[in-house]
Amino acid sequence: GAVVSQHPSRVICKSGTSVKIECRSLDFQATTMFWYRQFPKQSLMLMATSNEGSKATYEQGVEKDKFLINHASLTLSTLTVTSAHPEDSSFYICSASDWDKGEQFFGPGTRLTVL
């Protein structure tokens, strides 16, 4: 299957700082990428849909000013958690759609810990 990478895989930061997470589709062009968050023992929760060259669409209850999404190219989307707080500690996962195959491929996830 297609490969989606995330960087970093793990990050620890201090409260009040901002953290950027990158999501790359390595062997296909993804016009649409998605960002999810997963708390321990819970299912994935969709945060936003990221479309190349346009503003992201956020799910209800997700603060767009706190979770900044940029999809500048067909292979890269970034999620920036601004002014992170301990409650933002979570597993952040991105996915990218390969329209030709009708499939969506997920990255390995980024574990964010805010101290």
| Stated length of the chain | 115
Distances in Å between the Cα of 59 and the Cα atoms of 1, 15, 44, 56 are 28, 24, 13, 10
Stretch that binds other proteins, among 12-20, 64-72, 78-86, 88-96 (CB under 8 A): 88-96
Label the pairing between strands 19-25 and 45-51. unpaired
Residue 105 interacts with other proteins (CB under 8 A): yes or no: yes
Residue 78 interacts with other proteins (CB under 8 A): yes or no: no
Is 14 or 43 the residue whose CB approaches other proteins more closely?
Answer: 43
Binding test (CB under 8 A) with other proteins, winner from 80, 89, 104, 113: 104
